[in-house]
Amino acid sequence: MDERVIEPQDQKIALWRGVKGRCPRCGVGKLFRIYISQNTECSECHEDLSQLRADDAPPWLTIFITGHIVVPLIVEFARYEVFAEWIETSIVLLISFLCVYLILPRAKGLFLAGLWWQSKH
């Protein structure tokens, strides 16, 4: 075990490291290789990450948050006809894509860090 590793003393610290895509144990190594492809081991502290399985929780959280952003927008567009239909559709699709792209890796990091914390405490 590396002596320089500062393990989180608080679950919030571990979860925040996960949201940032960092190893929940050391906060330095990357949790993901590419986008949401999970590393099996931390490159810095060599913590085994292969047993952590977030399964459907990250997509669930991503859809939950994205839905709360996009659905009110769709309702407003339907009610007031602000722009031409093709523009409204384009805006909704762009915001949906951006929400999923930005939220999914952070949600996966959050759940992986939570699972890591539960396995250690």
Residues in contact with Zn ion by the rule CB under 5 A: 23, 25-26, 29, 42, 44-45, 47
Output 47 or 104, the one with its CB closest to Zn ion.
47
Residues paired with residue 38 on neighbouring β-strands, in sequence order: 32
Q: How far is the CB of 19 from Zn ion (least distance, A)?
A: 15
Question: Can you read off the two tokens belonging to residue 33?
Answer: 């290789």
Q: How far is the CB of 36 from Zn ion (least distance, A)?
A: 18
Output 45 or 99, the one with its CB closest to Zn ion.
45
Measured CA to CA, the distance from residue 23 to residue 7 in angstroms comes to: 10
Q: How far is the CB of 44 from Zn ion (least distance, A)?
A: 5
Amino acid at 44: E
How far are the Cα atoms of 40, 46, 113 from residue 25, in angstroms, in the given order?
14, 10, 9
